[in-house]
Structure 1
Amino acid sequence: MLHIKTVIIEDEPAIRKELEWLVSQEKTLKLEAIATSVANALQIIKNTKPDLVLMDIQLADGTAFDILSQLEEPDFHIIFITAFNHFAIKAIKYGALDYLLKPIDNEEFSLAIQKLNKIEQSDYRHQINVLKEYGSTKSVDMNSNICITSLDCLQMIRLNEIVYLSGDGSYTQIHLENNKKVTASKPLKYYEELLPDDYFIRTHQSYIVNKNFIDKYMRIGVLVMKDLSEIPVATRRKDFILEQLSPLK
């Protein structure tokens, strides 16, 4: 059996011990080394050439982003470990990368490991590049990329290509320019929290629109987009939408 060479980067002794135990319970994983700092992690990654790194986001001497910024072409999978930091989680979601919240749930850990075999290495490099881009700027503009987890692949999309999003239960239809469409395996609320609210607004429980693609607001409670799509505006959100689109009043 081929083993996945695994490195742990964690400076909290209790969490480190828990991760060691979780790795020992997965037959496909083989623990190669443990790092407790940014400097130590860089050296260990260079020496061990791991397949998987379990990486704490916040370390005593820096962050996971400091480690990634010093690696030109990371060729290993990453599962981030965090006690929850809004910015860090948002950056990770932009790259559609996996993360686990402390304390770590055994079942969630196993599910994260199972996902590894479904990700192509080339796709993973794209994910890391998105994370490094967003993690280094701490801001996002409409030229930024987002990695969409669709039903059968990972797809890179630029934010300024998105016309609107529509919710379909636990899935989201992402409608792009030129009548292209991507089905994402995440609910609409996931994207509401992720997309920059300077550009994207929720008009209805089932719709989020890109303000740059709005053509006009109809008094009957409908937004007409530049691709001629008609998006409903919920009655309770009418005043908010008009405020956001004050030039269109």
Structure 2
Amino acid sequence: MKITAVLVDDEPKALAILKNKIERFCSNIIVIGETKNPQKAIELIEKKKPQLVFLDIAMPEMSGFDLLSNIENPNFEVIFVTAFDQYALEAINHCAIGYLVKPVDNQDLITAVIKATQNIEDKTALEKNKLLIENLGVQTFQKKKIVIPSQEGLEFVEVNKIIFCEGTEGYTRIYIKNEKPILSSYSIGHFNKLLQNQDFYLIHKSYLININYIEKYLNEGYVVLDENNKLPVSRNRRSDFLNSLKNK
């Protein structure tokens, strides 16, 4: 499948390196435009209507996020390019959008392009881009949404509605307030990394809980969550877990 792409990066050297790597390692990508100017990038994208945009995040006049927010109908797949901004990576990960860390690794580029090609075929770009823009305007993590790939497609779930995640045989079942559970093909390790903050805690190798739903802790090593879910806390995690609750 041939994919049309536009490259946006304010650094001429980085732009040239990225273009060269795409030409060498991603033969299905056809670069139809490139620019160092974010404002011109908006015009270029709206005129050329690429299927894929490689977008630098940290640009002086306008960030990659601001650029995306200024496009009326961002119906294209995005691969962000960043020199590693933790907040940026969190926002991108929550929305299942691709990214590359500078200096761009050849294999990472190939992997990101393969995933982007699949996403283009699935036509999920517009929903994910809108969610990213929405999340960036939300100040507290608990009010953000994450994308959960499931058997039926993509599920957009508010973080504060997740009660707990249960890992089972490489899959994860996500229990959501007042909704039926979602089964994801991603492991619980993926969700532990994605939801890493003070409000989620991996109490057991199979259970990641939202501590806002804890109703009681039992001395024998169990937590009782909202909706009468009783889950075990691993013996080697109990002390740290209790300390984290006291410091909450």
Same fold (TM over 0.5): yes
**1:6 to partner: Cα distance:** 0.7
**1:55 to partner: Cα distance:** 0.6
The corresponding residue for 1:136 is 137
* Structural mapping, 1:100-249, within 5 Å: 100-119=100-119, 120-121=122-123, 123-137=124-138, 139-150=139-150, 153-168=153-168, 170-178=170-178, 180-195=180-195, 197-246=197-246
Q: Supply the distance in 2 between the matched residues of 1:48 and 1:60 (Cα, whole angstroms).
A: 24
In structure 2, list runs of 5 or more residues that go unmatched: none
Could you state the TM-score of these two structures normalised by the residue count of structure 2?
0.87
Q: Could you give the per-residue CA deviations for residues 196-241 of structure 1, whole angstroms, max 9, x where no partner exists? A: 6343222223321112322221110001222222211123332343
Q: Supply the distance in 2 between the matched residues of 1:17 and 1:171 (Cα, whole angstroms).
A: 40
Q: Is the 2:171–2:187 contact (alpha carbons within 8 Å) kept by the matching residues of 1?
A: yes
Further displaced range: 227-236 or 172-181 = 172-181
Q: Supply the distance in 2 between the matched residues of 1:15 and 1:191 (Cα, whole angstroms).
A: 32
Q: Is the 1:65–1:136 contact (alpha carbons within 8 Å) kept by the matching residues of 2?
A: no
**1:24 to partner: Cα distance:** 1.9
**1:30 to partner: Cα distance:** 1.2
Q: Supply the distance in 2 between the matched residues of 1:9 and 1:49 (Cα, whole angstroms).
A: 14
The corresponding residue for 1:17 is 16
Q: Is the 2:3–2:117 contact (alpha carbons within 8 Å) kept by the matching residues of 1?
A: no
Q: Is the 1:93–1:194 contact (alpha carbons within 8 Å) kept by the matching residues of 2?
A: yes
In structure 1, list runs of 5 or more residues that go unmatched: none
**1:76 to partner: Cα distance:** 0.9
Q: Supply the distance in 2 between the matched residues of 1:245 and 1:24 (Cα, whole angstroms).
A: 52
User: Structure 1 140/149 Cα, relative in aligned 2: closer, same or farther at 3 Å?
Assistant: farther
**1:105 to partner: Cα distance:** 2.1
Q: Could you give the per-residue CA deviations for residues 45-81 of structure 1, whole angstroms, max 9, x where no partner exists? A: 1221111101111113231111011112201110111
**1:145 to partner: Cα distance:** 1.5
Q: Give the length in aligned residue pairs.
A: 244
User: Structure 1 15/185 Cα, relative in aligned 2: closer, same or farther at 3 Å?
Assistant: farther
Q: Is the 1:100–1:108 contact (alpha carbons within 8 Å) kept by the matching residues of 2?
A: yes
Identity level (%): 29
Q: Could you give the per-residue CA deviations for residues 116-155 of structure 1, whole angstroms, max 9, x where no partner exists? A: 343232x322211121122234x33433221112356221
Output the amino acid matched with 1:4. I
Further displaced range: 181-190 or 94-103 = 181-190
The corresponding residue for 2:31 is 31
